[in-house]
Amino acid sequence: MEEAIDRTDKMLDTTRGSAEVWLGAAYDALLEGGVDAVSVHALSKRLNISRTSFYWFFKDKDELLSRLLAKWKKTNTGNWISRTEAYAESIAEAILNVFDCWFDEAIFDSRFEAAIRSWAQQSPAVARELAEDDGARIAALTAMFARFNYDPKPADVRARTAYFVQVGYVSTHQKEELSVRMDRIPEYVEVFTGKRAKKNELERFYSRRGFK
């Protein structure tokens, strides 16, 4: 009986997909063509699944777009804040923890970020969500600097400097050789924090990133 139910579930998956399948297709479409490319008709063609099956999982397209925004918030904003709160013995090590977001798409999805920022230019509601998340990320960085005894104004300015460098990389679609960007890491640490990273701190960072 259980085997029969399992076979039925698999047949349903191939004919109508699943919420995650539809969401994954919407994510791909957003990155490739912007929010206008995220339509139920286009996604059904992409998946080769009946368009009516979409409504097994989502009330309408707006619900799907809301799920996309939630996915972005969890991945990019959630992970960014977590990296600011990671254990560190110095401010240099703390900012290096945040730099993980620069190099690991699993932690901070740069293409997703760029797509959301493009979408925000078309949607005031998304622009408000983006501004809220920008504020939360900057506040987390500011708190990180404050944790290492920076006064409020320097903490705020250093946080904004570090944050908007990353936003600039995302928005301008910078393509750098990994070795070039890694070579700049010690200078970025000093510019953002006013401190030089110790050799062992840099070695730990490079090791996490699989760079020698």
More confident residue, 30 or 11: 30
| Model pLDDT, residue 172 | 83
Within 35-122, residue ranges assigned H as helices are 40-47, 61-72, 78-85, 91-103, 110-120
Task: Write out pLDDT tens, residues 161-190.
Answer: 999 999 998 888 778 888 999 999 999 999
CA-CA distance, 148 to 133, in Å (whole number)?
23
Instruction: Assess if residue 67 is contained within a domain.
Output: no
For 108, half-sphere exposure in the C-beta direction (CA atoms, 13 angstrom radius) is 23
Tokens representing 205 are 């960072």
Per-residue pLDDT, averaged over 34-51, amounts to 94
Instruction: Assess if residue 66 is contained within a domain.
Output: no
Per-residue pLDDT, averaged over 33-55, amounts to 94
| Model pLDDT, residue 140 | 98
Instruction: Assess if residue 115 is contained within a domain.
Output: yes
The residues, any chain, with a CB within 8 Å of residue 58's CB and separated by 6 or more, are 19, 22, 64, 67
CA-CA distance, 62 to 116, in Å (whole number)?
15
- Eight-class DSSP state of 76: I
The number of distinct structural domains making up the chain is 2
Task: Write out pLDDT tens, residues 121-169.
Answer: 999 999 999 999 999 999 999 999 999 999 999 999 999 999 999 999 8
Q: Are residues 86 and 173 in the same domain?
A: yes
Q: Which domain holds residue 146?
A: 72-208
Instruction: Assess if residue 6 is contained within a domain.
Output: yes
| Model pLDDT, residue 173 | 78
The answer to whether 123 and 66 are in contact (CB under 8 A) is: no
Instruction: Assess if residue 119 is contained within a domain.
Output: yes
Q: Are residues 124 and 182 in the same domain?
A: yes
Q: Are residues 117 and 197 in the same domain?
A: yes
Q: Are residues 110 and 200 in the same domain?
A: yes
Q: How does DSSP assign 183-211, residue by residue?
A: HHHHHHHHHHHSSPPPHHHHHHHHHHTT-
Q: Are residues 85 and 158 in the same domain?
A: yes
Q: Are residues 45 and 84 in the same domain?
A: no
Q: Are residues 34 and 127 in the same domain?
A: no
9 pLDDT more than 70:
no
| Model pLDDT, residue 174 | 78
